[in-house]
Amino acid sequence: MFKQKTIGFFEVAGFRWMVPMVKLAFWEDPKEQSRLLGNLIGLPLLAISLFLFLWAAGAAQVDTSLGKLPGPSAVLDAGKTLYAEHKEERAKEAAFYERQQKRNAKKLERNPDANIKWRNYTGNATFIDQIFTSLKTVFTGFVVASLIAVPIGIACGLSRGLNTALSPIIQILKPVSPLAWLPIVTMVVSAVYISDDPLLAKSFVNSAITVTLCCMWPTLINTAVGVGNIDEDLINVGRVIRLGWFTRVRKIAIPAALPMIFTGLRISLGIGWMVLIAAEMLAQNPGLGKFVWDEFQNGSSQSLARIMFAVVTIGFIGFVLDWLMLTLQKMISHEDVKS
């Protein structure tokens, strides 16, 4: 009983890859335990070791304008340097605010009615800062896209006429590259978003809208397909018992189409993350894309290793975002979802 509860916990929490390890802990047959242990740990370690070996051996043979292509150890050292730079910058920020606080305290001590000014720290954005900037931007664009795509997708799934009317527009706009959207978005935002004290930076708005425009289509299409494929008997039952339109959507359409909706959301989030990096590089908006481009333009001996560490970080974050969506789907739908 305890074994099943433990396995169920890891499945619901999204740690499907850990389920075999949990089973291994409860396994009684030593031979079967050894075989399972080799498959779970030995094979992945062998694949990773082979990949790192080929990377290190191949990198040593490649000469670029910035020097030798960095291997795994050089990329790891670059990551440590980036984190050290972040800690140093945060220490400078703390010292800046501490000096400002002491200076203002002395002013108030001399004159309690003195006009006190607080200035924001304007130091350089570190690699860690760029990560959080990109995450904030992609989540903003993704949430806005979802709020638009899910309702339209539900409406298209329930209405064949609306689906037929919107299908050409969706199919034309869906394949448009973010590189084509970005100049249009930039010009429109510059013309419309005019304020002496804007709540959000224009660069953030440009990137978020570009992400929204590019990542809403998978969610919209999957939602429409999921709702459109609901068993007609379910819809007819809702009509027979005279459920209102919103009640039918909430009680019948959304629960039945939830797996397809989440599939669209996972695809949209992955696309949004890729689009954001490209948009930040092209428009030089703050974020990981800008960090990669700045390092490329910098051209120092360490730039290539720092770029490669950023690439690994981008890939790892993309993996974590997909895992979060998969976990959320399992928690909400309570279904056995394959990763």
Q: What is the mean pLDDT of residues 57-81?
A: 86
Q: Per the structure block, which two tokens stand in for 22?
A: 């949990």
Confidence check: pLDDT of 234 > 80: no
pLDDT at 21: 52
Instruction: State mean pLDDT over 209-230.
Output: 90
The pTM of this model reads 0.81
Q: How many CB atoms lie within 10 A of CB 243?
A: 16
Confidence of residue 36 (pLDDT cuts 50, 70, 90): low
- The pLDDT value recorded for residue 333 is 67
The first and second tokens of residue 97, run together, are: 């605010």
On whether the CB atoms of residues 289 and 280 are closer than 8 A, the answer is: yes
Q: What is the pLDDT of residue 317?
A: 95
Higher-scoring residue by pLDDT: 125, 249: 125
Q: pLDDT class for 2, splitting at 50, 70, 90?
A: very low
Instruction: Determine the 3-state secondary structure of 176 from DSSP.
Output: coil
Q: Is the pLDDT of residue 222 over 90?
A: yes
The pLDDT value recorded for residue 151 is: 92
Q: Report yes or no: 29 and 41 within 8 Å, Cβ to Cβ.
A: no
Q: Among the listed ranges 92-101, 143-152, 268-277, 296-305, which one has the minimum average pLDDT value?
A: 296-305
Which residues are within 8 A (CB) of 210 and not within 5 positions of it... i.e. 6 or more apart? 141, 178, 181, 182, 185, 275, 276, 279
Q: Answer whether residue 16 shows pLDDT above 90.
A: no
CA atoms within 13 A on the CB side of 265: 23
Cα-only R_g, the chain: 26
Confidence of residue 335 (pLDDT cuts 50, 70, 90): low
User: In the predicted model, what is the mean pLDDT of residues 306-312?
Assistant: 93
Burial profile 185-205: b = 16 or more Cβ within 10 angstroms, e = fewer: bbeebeeeeeeeeeeeeebbb
pLDDT of residue 118: 80
Tell whether the model's pLDDT for residue 19 goes beyond 60.
Answer: no
pLDDT of 297 higher than 60 = yes
| pLDDT for residue 137 | 93
